[in-house]
A and B are shown apart, each in its own frame.
Chain A
Amino acid sequence: MKDPTRLTAAELSRLYRRGKLSPVEAMKAVLARTDRINPEINAFTRIDGKEAMAAARASEKRWKKGKPLSPLDGVAVSIKELVRVRGWPATMGSKLTDKSPADADAPAVARLREAGAIVFAQSTSSEYGHKGVTDSPLNGITRNPWNLARTPGGSSGGAGAAVAAGLAPLAIGTDGGGSVRIPSSFCGLVGLKATFGRVPAWPPGLNGDLANTGPMCRTALDCAMVMNAIARPDPRDPYQLPEDDTDYARKLDARLKKRPRVAFLLRMGDHPIDIEVAALVTKAARRFEKLGFKVEEVEPPFPYAQAMQSFVTHWLTNAQRLLELYPEQRHGEFDPNLLASAKAGQRYTLQDLINAQATRRELAVAWNLFFEKYDLLLTPTVAVQPFEVGKPMPDGPDGKPNRQWSPYTATFNLTRHPAASVPCGLSSDGLPIGLHIVAGHYKDASVLAAAARYAEAHPLEIPALPEKKK
């Protein structure tokens, strides 16, 4: 028997069904591994071992009776600290947040519980998810199990580090500008930011309608299984899409329509890109030809600088609300990077904001028309390799901080299109590189299916992590 912590949710589920493994054994293994590994990577803020074991025993009974609540019954899942879990404080990586226990589960958590998944740990985030790496005043630094000196990315870095290290096969992250996809890329996982509204969320967060709740897993199939649970209606989210009864797992096997048109671009605009990232992603795009797709190199349909300006304006003006939410004498307790963002947000004028909104609408129309022509878009997920922990951005080729290290993901938070990251190789340093797959609205299943098709042909085996320090 393989170590249960190395198994995917789909594999665990199959073994549970056949009675070859019980949720109790699997949960024990996850908890034991968590005890050992979490101190090294700092992926979790809290671990509810006792409740998890009780839930595992209940699940075991259901499987024994042949009446699991869903295929995910008895599979462990961690939840990012920005997402509410009943009985846990929604800490948000912040010293300032209310630390009393939440009195309700967020929609995704409620759906996962209903599916029998075991909500066993809370994963780390940068404070309020404001940056693409994971360290916070509340929890310190979270590390990448592929190399402990590197960042797992962020803001769902705890989720990414945990899944890569075998601390449960499933994690729930959130993505307001790339925060599911960046850590999925940096940790060698499949992560999906679905079409906005496909996964209901509650309560309304700081990042408004940029924010999405999404799965981070080792395989597209596991993401699909999580989507089957969480892409279900919840009356608390006024932006939720109508139920469409999609079976995401089944759709992975749907036959390809004749030569789907795939657009490929390496640059969203004038920004640097790591040479190894460029090479691996180009190779991956070429492989899509062999998988039955028609791949074409394209230019982005909208000026990058304008799109990023719109995003940054939305992002920072939202961040400024923190200054009102908490009394000024406590502002010193914020991550200095977040405080600077919030203060920068105050400097935007109303005209800037309205321009940013107008740009967002134009950008969305441009990409919508783009996806009339192409079934999929391929880009790198991130323009750089996972970089050293302890700083919000890597150094660029010129030795100065590279502000444009993540130019691909945020556009699709503005436009609301579904987008996933799937691993497409390792750099010469042995660090994972992600391929970004995007599609038209509501084509979440196509995005996952493309990720599955690619990963099946070109799998990335995740070794036992964390690897020993070099």
Chain B
Amino acid sequence: MTADLAMMPAWQLVKLYKSRKASPVEATKAAIARIEAFNPKLNAFQHLDPDSALRAARASEKRWKKGGKRLSDIDGVPITIKDMVLTRGMPTRMGSLATDPDGPWNVDAPSAAHLRAAGTVLLGKTTSPEYGWKGVTDSGLFGVTHNPWKIGRTPGGSSGGGVAAEAVGMGTLAVGTDGAGSVRIPCSFTGLFGLKPTQARVPLWPPSAMGTLSHVGPMSRTVLDAAMMMNVMARPDPRDPYGRPDDIENYEKGLDKGVKGLRIAYSPNLGFVEKERIDRDVATAVEAAVKVFKTLGAKVVEESPDLMGLDPRKILNAHWQSNVAHLVKTFSEEKRALMDPGLLKAAEVGANLGQETVVTAIHQRQQVAAIMNQFMARYDLLLTPTMPMTAFAVNENAAWGGDGVDIGWTPFTLTFNLTRQPAATIPCGLDREGMPIGLQIVSGHARDALVLRAAKAYERVRPIPAPPLAHQV
């Protein structure tokens, strides 16, 4: 029974809690058992605290007992949080040897605070490359994180630890962050569902060096689980000055309404990604997934936005390279010597961009956003591949042998960090080598619930499979 509890979705777990067929302590123990079994191979955690997790689980258990008062619909569910999100009582190292190992660790970021107040059980902090700088997950601090679908492949990044844990039941829910694709890249590479909500829908603090490119989002094995997480995380916090007005959205409500009659644009290349860059298995799987939406009654049209020659890759590169240049400068020379050489190189490129280049990029970002907004005014949803490729070997900084300074290898995801639109990824098949492929589902601002609803409709006919490793207990 305990092994099943670990892979069980949150919505099912809490049903068992309610009927007292399982308890948060059992679920937490099941997750810890899986951590012991799999983490040595996957290296998904930067920090683990089974004792505090069990304490939290026991407290939750009391609340689920007769007469107890649950703190939320996911009270007692084991979760993991990425090393980029501040957590009280657990170190946050940002995947970096240059950060202070001694803390203090005395404050929760908004999402961590909301999840704590909801009674969830925090198992530990998942690995990230240094300051989430690249779309794969390795760091001087904690080494290489592997993909549960194939050891030796990257889980993607930067929320790579979170997905490696999530895919094999080392936690029921995972929190990631996404500045150019860092929730969607790893979810695509490891066959999970992941949502980058509308910017600031999930509040963020302290302010990220990436400014309004930064997002916090759920990563899960089912769409309903992500909706349940959003119900907890997508609540205001005065510390985020970009925080959106509280919309009191219930993300579970209407989740099963399907996609019949919805206007969907399908764009195989978003109008700017070179077709030869897109893996043929990816293109085929995404095409097939789009057909599923047609079968489900959506009105699908193949159309790409006209970006008027603007290249989102260049715009995003200028934003993030200049920001990491600033980030790196905040460290002393000795500390800098400890940092990832790839990150330092990106910082050097950023430092030499020139101010006018960055100002131009900021204005171009607005233009792209205005174009996408007008495009989305005609459609409820937009479908694209999440990634042009599937998971590649570990110890690379980027796909296609790149050094990671150019983040352009994830063009589909980064576009929606620029525009701040909600965008999710859902698994839509495996490539010739058995590695997962992701379909990206995008909507207009504040329509996060619609993205979840579309993903749920797809999931109902194409359930999300677990990696073979998850069954080897």
A362 to B211, CA, bound (A): 11
Q: C-beta contact mask, B227-269 vs A, less than 8 Å → 1, else 0?
A: 0000000000011111111010000000000000000000000
Q: With A348-B355, A352-B355 known to touch, is A238 a contact of B373 (CB < 8 Å)? A: yes
CB of B16 closer than 8 Å to a CB of A:
no
A361 to B351, CA, bound (A): 20
- Cβ of B211 and Cβ of A357 under 8 Å apart? yes
- Cβ of A350 and Cβ of B245 under 8 Å apart? no
A321 to B460, CA, bound (A): 51
CB of B462 closer than 8 Å to a CB of A:
no
CB of A204 closer than 8 Å to a CB of B:
yes
- Residues of chain A contacted by B238 (CB below 8 angstroms): 368-369, 371-372
Min C-beta distance of B47 to chain A, whole Å: 26
Q: With A349-B355, A350-B353, A369-B238 known to touch, is A208 a contact of B376 (CB < 8 Å)? A: no
Pick the contact of A350: B211, B247, B325, B377 (CB < 8 A): B325
A351 to B354, CA, bound (A): 9
CB of A358 closer than 8 Å to a CB of B:
yes
Q: Which residues of chain A from 243 to 270 have a CB within 8 Å of any chain B CB?
A: 244
Q: C-beta contact mask, A316-332 vs B, less than 8 Å → 1, else 0?
A: 01101100100000000
CB of A303 closer than 8 Å to a CB of B:
no
- Residues of chain B contacted by A337 (CB below 8 angstroms): none
B171-179, B364-372, B435-443, B451-459 - interface stretch? B364-372
Q: C-beta contact mask, A369-387 vs B, less than 8 Å → 1, else 0?
A: 1011000000000000000
Give the total of B residues in contact with A, Cβ under 8 Å. 44
- Residues of chain B contacted by A416 (CB below 8 angstroms): 241
CB of B107 closer than 8 Å to a CB of A:
no
A351 to B353, CA, bound (A): 10
Q: With A367-B241, A369-B239 known to touch, is A354 a contact of B322 (CB < 8 Å)? A: yes
Q: C-beta contact mask, B293-324 vs A, less than 8 Å → 1, else 0?
A: 00000000000000000000000000000110
A39 to B205, CA, bound (A): 53
- Residues of chain A contacted by B384 (CB below 8 angstroms): none
Min C-beta distance of A240 to chain B, whole Å: 8
- Cβ of A241 and Cβ of B244 under 8 Å apart? yes
A240 to B370, CA, bound (A): 10
- Cβ of A204 and Cβ of B367 under 8 Å apart? yes
Q: What is the chain B residue whose CB lies nearest that of A368?
A: B241
Q: Which residues of chain B from 328 to 377 have a CB within 8 Å of any chain A CB?
A: 329, 350-351, 353-356, 358-360, 362-363, 366-367, 369-370, 372-374, 376-377
- Cβ of A204 and Cβ of B322 under 8 Å apart? no
- Residues of chain B contacted by A340 (CB below 8 angstroms): none
CB of B393 closer than 8 Å to a CB of A:
no
Min C-beta distance of A118 to chain B, whole Å: 28
Q: C-beta contact mask, A397-416 vs B, less than 8 Å → 1, else 0?
A: 00000000000000000011
- Cβ of A236 and Cβ of B239 under 8 Å apart? no
Q: For the complex, would chain B's binding face be called helix, strand, loop or mixed by DSSP majority?
A: helix
CB of A237 closer than 8 Å to a CB of B:
yes
Min C-beta distance of A320 to chain B, whole Å: 7
Q: C-beta contact mask, A201-241 vs B, less than 8 Å → 1, else 0?
A: 01110001100000000000000000000000001111111
A240 to B247, CA, bound (A): 15
- Residues of chain A contacted by B444 (CB below 8 angstroms): 235
CB of B221 closer than 8 Å to a CB of A:
no
Q: With A235-B376, A351-B329 known to touch, is A365 a contact of B245 (CB < 8 Å)? A: no
CB of B446 closer than 8 Å to a CB of A:
yes
- Cβ of B326 and Cβ of A351 under 8 Å apart? yes
- Residues of chain B contacted by A208 (CB below 8 angstroms): 362-363, 366
CB of A171 closer than 8 Å to a CB of B:
no
Pick the contact of B245: A235, A240, A415, A441 (CB < 8 A): A441
Min C-beta distance of B454 to chain A, whole Å: 19
CB of A353 closer than 8 Å to a CB of B:
yes
Pick the contact of B241: A244, A320, A324, A364 (CB < 8 A): A364
- Cβ of B326 and Cβ of A358 under 8 Å apart? yes
CB of A306 closer than 8 Å to a CB of B:
no
Q: With A238-B366, A238-B445, A242-B245 known to touch, is A354 a contact of B323 (CB < 8 Å)? A: yes
CB of B120 closer than 8 Å to a CB of A:
no
- Cβ of B446 and Cβ of A350 under 8 Å apart? no
Min C-beta distance of B240 to chain A, whole Å: 8
CB of B146 closer than 8 Å to a CB of A:
no
- Residues of chain B contacted by A441 (CB below 8 angstroms): 241, 243, 245
- Cβ of A241 and Cβ of B376 under 8 Å apart? no
A362 to B241, CA, bound (A): 9
- Cβ of B325 and Cβ of A204 under 8 Å apart? no
- Residues of chain A contacted by B434 (CB below 8 angstroms): none
Q: Which residues of chain A from 148 to 182 have a CB within 8 Å of any chain B CB?
A: none
Q: What is the chain A residue whose CB lies nearest that of B246?
A: A442
Min C-beta distance of A392 to chain B, whole Å: 23
- Residues of chain A contacted by B326 (CB below 8 angstroms): 351, 354-355, 358
Given A361-B241, A369-B239, 18 additional A-B pairs, CB 8 A: A208-B363, A208-B366, A235-B376, A238-B373, A349-B355, A350-B351, A350-B353, A350-B358, A351-B326, A351-B351, A354-B358, A358-B326, A364-B242, A365-B207, A365-B240, A365-B241, A369-B238, A441-B241
Ordered nearest first, which 9 A-B pairs have the shortest CB separation?
A364-B241, A235-B377, A238-B369, A361-B207, A204-B366, A354-B326, A238-B373, A350-B355, A242-B446
* Contact sample, A vs B, 22 pairs, CB 8 Å cutoff: A202-B370, A236-B370, A236-B373, A237-B370, A238-B372, A238-B445, A240-B445, A242-B244, A321-B363, A324-B356, A348-B355, A354-B322, A354-B323, A358-B207, A361-B207, A364-B207, A364-B242, A365-B207, A365-B241, A368-B239, A368-B241, A368-B243
Q: Which residues of A contact B (CB under 8 A)?
A: 202-204, 208-209, 235-242, 244, 317-318, 320-321, 324, 346, 348-355, 357-358, 361-362, 364-365, 367-369, 371-372, 415-416, 441-442
Q: Which residues of B contact A (CB under 8 A)?
A: 205-207, 209, 211, 238-245, 247, 322-323, 325-326, 329, 350-351, 353-356, 358-360, 362-363, 366-367, 369-370, 372-374, 376-377, 419-420, 444-446
